[in-house]
Amino acid sequence: MTHAVVNELIDLLALERLEDNLFRGQSRDIGTKYVFGGQVLGQALSAAQKTVDDPRHAHSLHAYFLRAGDIDAPIIYSVERTRDGSSFSVRRVVAIQHGQPIFTCSVSFQIEESGVEHQLSMPEVPKPEDLAAPAPIPPEQLERVPVKLQRWLGMKGPFEFRHVYPRDEFNPPKRPPYQQVWFRLTDAVPDTPELHRTLLAYASDFHLVGTATFPHGISYFQPNVQMASLDHALWFHRPFRADDWLLYSCDSPTAQNARGLSRGMIYDRHGVLVASTAQEGLIRLTK
């Protein structure tokens, strides 16, 4: 039986159709101050997919976060059918709250085609079964962060994460800007490829921009650190399942001008590169 938290996420990503190209989504309060960026990514991709006929599948998404999302208000997704060619289709999605755009993205779809193939090898890391699940955060540490963040850190989410090199986010050491994280949905879900793409879009916003904080010994747990996603790119390369273990291999080549750039490659447990990501985020130290 699928856990309630997984069903809740699937329902969150499904959206309500208002018109041919207009959809409404709700928000899930996971303890973040504003709407979680991965939720908007997944819902926008879901809206775009609902306007494209099979057998075309999303292969890339390029997004900008324009304004912080209000957790207590619904989000309207307006889809523009930009192009339907012989091989590719393009959709532009605008997410709207309180009459203003909070997010925009373009999604490209392609028919299945054969061609040249290569990929970078997966890093040599322990298998997820050989890594311990994260230990619960001690109550005395939870008390040091805002109440909403306490709820996020203390709740069981729809995804399970196992860090190859765990980091103490309350007392972060200075480390090189890379990390590897195994993750998977906590329950099996239907085989629908479109569902697994929206689930991966949702999960791809975890841990990515945080990689840019590693060389500086800071984390978003600290009250003087302000972080937010500015943009997000996601490419789907090969079939995958979000309910089986995937390795998120992230690095950050640069940070400057209160912005950090992070990149990610997502592999299945057999070493097949299934997706890639890139994201720039705001990393601002306040007084």
Q: What is the pLDDT of residue 148?
A: 66
Closest CA to 113 of 130, 145, 88: 88
Model confidence, pTM:
0.94
pLDDT per residue as tens digits for the range 9-39:
999 999 999 999 999 999 988 777 899 999 9
Q: What is the pLDDT of residue 154?
A: 62
Closest CA to 206 of 187, 185, 190: 185
* Interval 183-187 mean pLDDT: 96
> Is the Cβ–Cβ distance between 14 and 189 less than 8 Å?
no
What are the residue numbers of the active site?
Answer: 205, 229, 279
By three-state DSSP, how is residue 85 classified?
coil
Compute how many other C-beta atoms are within 10 angstroms of the C-beta atom of residue 27.
Answer: 20
Closest CA to 48 of 191, 158, 201: 201
Which residues, 6 or more positions from 189, have their beta carbon under 8 angstroms from its beta carbon? 2, 6, 10, 195, 196, 199, 242, 243
Whole-angstrom CA distances from 10 to 7, 28, 37, 200 are 5, 11, 16, 12
Residue that has been written with the tokens 């960026």 in this structure: 37
Domains of the chain are 4-112+133-285 (2.40.160.210)
Q: What is the pLDDT of residue 142?
A: 73
* Interval 202-217 mean pLDDT: 97
Q: What is the pLDDT of residue 29?
A: 81
Alpha-carbon dihedral sign for residues 192, 157, 95, 284: negative
Mean pLDDT, the chain, rounded, equals 93
Q: What is the pLDDT of residue 48?
A: 98
* Interval 226-251 mean pLDDT: 97
Residue that has been written with the tokens 């447990």 in this structure: 269
pLDDT per residue as tens digits for the range 113-169:
999 999 999 999 999 999 988 877 777 777 777 776 666 666 678 999 999 999 988
Which residues, 6 or more positions from 11, have their beta carbon under 8 angstroms from its beta carbon? none
Q: What is the pLDDT of residue 155?
A: 65
